[in-house]
Every structure is written in C-alpha cells, then in structure tokens.
C-alpha cells in the first residue's frame, strides 16, 4: 500500500460532523464550564489538527492586546508537529486539561457563525493528496509556523486578519477539503510575504532608532 493511501486510511474518525455542528453541540450546557482540549480532540483522528488549530485561534478574536501573543505560540506548536510529520497532535498534559469556556465558544459562534454557515455550503472532502501527502502536510506546517510567529508580533490591527486566515486552515483540515487548503496556502503565502517584509522593515527601523539613541 502506498504512503498516500495509508495516510488517507488513517484519517478516519468517530465524529464526522462539521465545525458548525460541533460548535452548536459545545455551546449547550453550563456557560462557565470549561471544555477540556483533550475531550474536544477525542475521536477526531487526523481532523484533530484542525480542531486544535480552531481552538488555538480563538484568543486572536478576543479584543485584548495579548490575544495574538496567546494564539501565536499555540499555532507554532501545531505547525511544528505537521512539519515533523505527526499523524495526530500532541499536547502537554497541562494544556490537555485546559480549554475554552462554553460562553466563549457561544460568543465566537455569534461572531463568525454566519460566515462559517456560508463557507460550509462550499466545502466538502476533496483533493485528499493536498492534505495527506507528506510534503503537502509539511508545507501546511511551515506556513502555520510563520503565521503563528507573525500573529505573536505586536503588529497593529492584524489579529482578526491572521485569525480569519488561520480559520481557513482549520476548516480545510476539519472538513478534509484540499481545494480550500490550496486557497489557504495562496492567502497564507501572500500574507507571510507582505507582513514578513513589513515586520523586517519595522525591526530595522527600530534598530536604527535605538542606535541613534545610544
């Protein structure tokens, strides 16, 4: 059996519901209850990378200055694991016991629910080689590492932009949609090129300013 077919077989999971259906189920219950990451990922198979990326992106949509600083390192962790070829995500035990509150997921659902509803009418499982081929998974991981680094930087007014882009990656992984992943690759590569260049210029300007003050 070839590597591509083997990977595709490993993608089976015990919960084939889409992101909107999962969100609707998780928002029912005690609002202040914590949904542990370990429980959220259980039974999702390789789709667990998409769910973990989705949860990791949530702080970027919280209107606080440190939202990106929280999401960024988690996105980098996910990207490194895809880059290393892992078939399922690994989390430290301390992180497995943590997770979002139901009320936070409900607020997020109200924020992006209409957008997700429209997008989910277009997504479907297709082009599996884009998701499961070793080189393709590594490229996805590399982009996530770079986007996670950019999200961690204090670049003004970019948290929602990076967050929306990362949701494309998460939805592509969750819905096993290789075509959507291609769109995420193009958008992610462009974003990394533009903001990577700007960040480098800002860093160079800040270095020169410090030299002048020194």
User: In 71-86, which positions are buried (b, 16+ CB within 10 angstroms) versus exposed (e)?
Assistant: bbebbbbbbebbbeee
Tens-digit pLDDT profile for residues 68-91: 888 999 999 999 999 999 988 988
Query: What pLDDT shows up at residue 214?
Result: 53
pLDDT at 206 over 60: no
Tens-digit pLDDT profile for residues 104-124: 888 877 777 777 777 778 888
Query: What pLDDT shows up at residue 7?
Result: 45
Burial of 58 (0-12, 13-18, 19+ CB in 10 A): buried
Here the tokens at position 152 are 């961690």
Domain map (residue ranges) of the chain:
3-213
Q: Find where tokens 């989390």 sit.
A: 91
Q: Concatenated DSSP letters for 141-206?
A: HHHHHHHHHHHHS--TT-HHHHHHHHHHHHHHHHHTBHHHHHHHHHHHHHHHHHHHHHHHHHHHHH
Q: Is 2 helix (H, G, I), strand (E, B) or coil?
A: coil
Burial of 95 (0-12, 13-18, 19+ CB in 10 A): middle
Tens-digit pLDDT profile for residues 8-52: 444 445 455 677 777 777 788 888 888 888 888 877 777 889 989
Here the tokens at position 167 are 């949701």
Banded pLDDT at 212 (limits 50, 70, 90): low
pLDDT at 1 over 90: no
Here the tokens at position 182 are 């291609």
Tens-digit pLDDT profile for residues 150-198: 888 887 778 889 999 999 999 999 889 999 999 999 999 999 888 877 7
**Residue (of 22, 39, 16) closest to 176 by Cα position:** 16
Banded pLDDT at 204 (limits 50, 70, 90): low
Q: What is the DSSP letter of 124?
A: -
Q: Find where tokens 């958008």 sit.
A: 187
Do 11 and 176 meet the contact criterion of CB atoms below 8 Å apart? yes
Torsion of CA 175, 169, 115, 41, to 10 degrees: 60
Q: How far apart are CA 136 and CA 12, in angstroms?
A: 19
């Amino acid at each position: 059996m070839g590597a591509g077919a083997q990977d595709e077989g490993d993608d089976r999971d015990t919960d084939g519901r889409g992101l909107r259906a999962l969100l609707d189920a998780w928002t029912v219950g005690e609002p202040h209850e914590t949904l542990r990451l370990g429980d959220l990922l259980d039974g999702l198979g390789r789709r667990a990378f998409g769910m973990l990326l989705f949860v990791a992106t949530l702080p970027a949509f919280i209107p606080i200055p440190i939202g990106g600083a929280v999401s960024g390192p988690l996105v980098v962790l996910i990207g490194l694991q895809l880059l290393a070829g892992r078939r399922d995500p690994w989390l430290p035990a301390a992180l497995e016991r943590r997770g979002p509150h139901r009320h936070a997921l409900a607020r997020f659902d109200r924020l992006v629910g209409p957008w997700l509803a429209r997008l989910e009418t277009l997504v479907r499982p297709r082009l599996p080689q884009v998701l499961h081929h070793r080189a393709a998974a590594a490229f996805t991981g590399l982009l996530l590492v770079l986007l996670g680094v950019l999200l961690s930087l204090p670049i003004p007014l970019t948290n929602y932009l990076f967050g929306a882009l990362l949701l494309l990656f998460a939805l592509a992984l969750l819905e096993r949609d290789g075509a959507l992943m291609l769109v995420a690759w193009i958008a992610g590569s462009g974003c990394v090129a533009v903001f990577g260049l700007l960040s480098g210029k800002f860093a160079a300007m800040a270095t020169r300013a410090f030299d002048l003050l020194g």
